[in-house]
């Protein structure tokens, strides 16, 4: 599927959460999106679902998740994914230098891996592979072996690298374990930090909150954005004074600086 066709299909997506139009517009305007953007609304919906999932709030509760155990598992995923990405990259470098053994190992490992994917997920390559990412893959790919062979190596290395990066981001977002039962504001902190990641990704700016001494209030574009998200998806979090809300957002960002 060409990138422009994929973009057309994505533009037709709509969020499943029903919100009044004015709330969608408040969220979009707060992050700098001038007109209605359905794809962005789907992203917001996804982030809201993640933010409200009881992950950090359940850490330390009786019968719940243990932060140390989760961190250990994620750390292993990160190390293994990083090691795999490095192994594939090293094999590729050796193959390019003329090492036929490395070339054979890399080619057949990724080739057969791609063949398995094509068997079990036949629509994967046609929906994800675009001209921009893999220019050597022809638009009409009737031969599955040709389709998989041409870009399997690059795809495999990219996937392993992305998994290593993603698992590292998860470890950063977990924060440090302070022991005992979860803090009262753990759910709110998770909400703020989840949308801080989205804010940084969309705007390229650090999520922060400033204090206006003249007006004696907290301010900033991220504060406006997360407030609009709270009012839309978790109104109980927004049920406090402006100063109290701003201070709570500031504390959340200070507690998890990697999110900002």
pLDDT value of residue 62: 65
Q: Which residue has the higher pLDDT, 11 or 95?
A: 95
Task: Give CA–CA dist 9/177, Å, rounded.
Answer: 43
State whether 249 and 201 are in the same domain. yes
- Mean pLDDT, residues 145-163: 69
SS3 content of the chain, % helix, strand, coil (to 5): 65, 0, 35
Does one domain contain both 42 and 69? no
Distances (CA, A) of 88 to 71, 81, 151, 178: 26, 11, 14, 38
Do 214 and 245 belong to one domain?
yes
Distances in Å between the Cα of 161 and the Cα atoms of 13, 91, 128 are 28, 15, 17
Check: CB of residue 190 under 8 Å from CB of residue 55: yes
What's residue 209's pLDDT? Answer: 94
Answer yes or no: do 196 and 243 share one domain: yes
Looking at residue 32, its pLDDT comes to: 92
Q: Residue 158 has what pLDDT?
A: 81
Residues 172 and 188 in one domain: no
Residue ranges making up the domain that contains 174: 65-178
Residue 121 and residue 36 share a domain: no
Q: Are residues 77 and 105 in the same domain?
A: yes
Share of the chain above pLDDT 70, in %: 71
pLDDT at 114 over 80: no
Where is 94: in which H helix or E strand?
A: helix 67-96
Q: What pTM was estimated for this model as a whole?
A: 0.52
Average pLDDT, the chain: 78
In this predicted model, what pLDDT tens digit does every residue of 214-241 receive, in sequence order? 989 999 999 999 999 999 999 999 999 9
Question: How many Cβ atoms sit within 10 Å of the Cβ of residue 187?
Answer: 21
Same domain, 87 and 161: yes
Number of domains composing the chain: 2
Looking at the structure, do residues 187 and 252 belong to the same domain, yes or no? yes
Q: What burial class does residue 154 get, using C-beta atoms within 10 Å of its C-beta: 0-12 exposed, 13-18 middle, 19+ buried? A: middle
- 169 and 70 in a common domain: yes
Using CA atoms, how far residue 110 sits from 91, 120, 222, in Å, is 11, 15, 43
**Per-residue pLDDT tens over the stretch 159-214:** 888 888 888 877 776 765 555 444 567 788 889 988 998 999 899 899 999 999 99
**Residues 172 and 69 reside in one and the same domain:** yes
């Amino acid at each position: 599927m060409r990138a422009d066709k994929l973009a057309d299909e994505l533009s037709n997506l709509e969020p499943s959460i029903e919100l009044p139009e004015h709330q969608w517009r408040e969220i979009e305007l707060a992050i700098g999106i001038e007109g209605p953007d359905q794809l962005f609304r789907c992203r917001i919906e996804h982030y809201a679902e993640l933010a409200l999932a009881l992950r950090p709030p359940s850490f330390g509760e009786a019968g719940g998740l243990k932060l140390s155990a989760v961190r250990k598992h994620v750390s292993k995923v990160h190390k293994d994914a990083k090691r795999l990405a490095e192994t594939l990259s090293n094999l590729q470098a050796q193959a390019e230098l003329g090492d036929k053994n490395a070339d054979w190992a890399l080619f057949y490992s990724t080739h057969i891996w791609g063949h398995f994917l094509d068997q079990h997920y036949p629509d994967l390559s046609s929906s994800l592979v675009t001209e921009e990412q893999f220019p050597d893959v022809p638009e009409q790919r009737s031969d599955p072996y040709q389709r998989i062979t041409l870009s399997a190596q690059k795809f495999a290395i990219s996937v392993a690298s992305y998994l290593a990066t993603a698992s590292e981001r998860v470890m950063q977002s977990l924060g440090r374990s302070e022991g005992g039962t979860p803090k009262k504001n753990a759910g709110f902190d998770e909400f703020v930090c989840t949308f801080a990641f989205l804010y940084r990704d969309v705007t390229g700016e650090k999520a922060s909150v400033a204090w206006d001494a003249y007006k004696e209030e907290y301010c900033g574009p991220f504060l406006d954005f997360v407030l609009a998200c709270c009012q839309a998806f978790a109104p109980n979090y927004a049920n406090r004074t402006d100063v109290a809300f701003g201070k709570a957002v500031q504390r959340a960002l200070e507690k998890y600086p990697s999110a900002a």
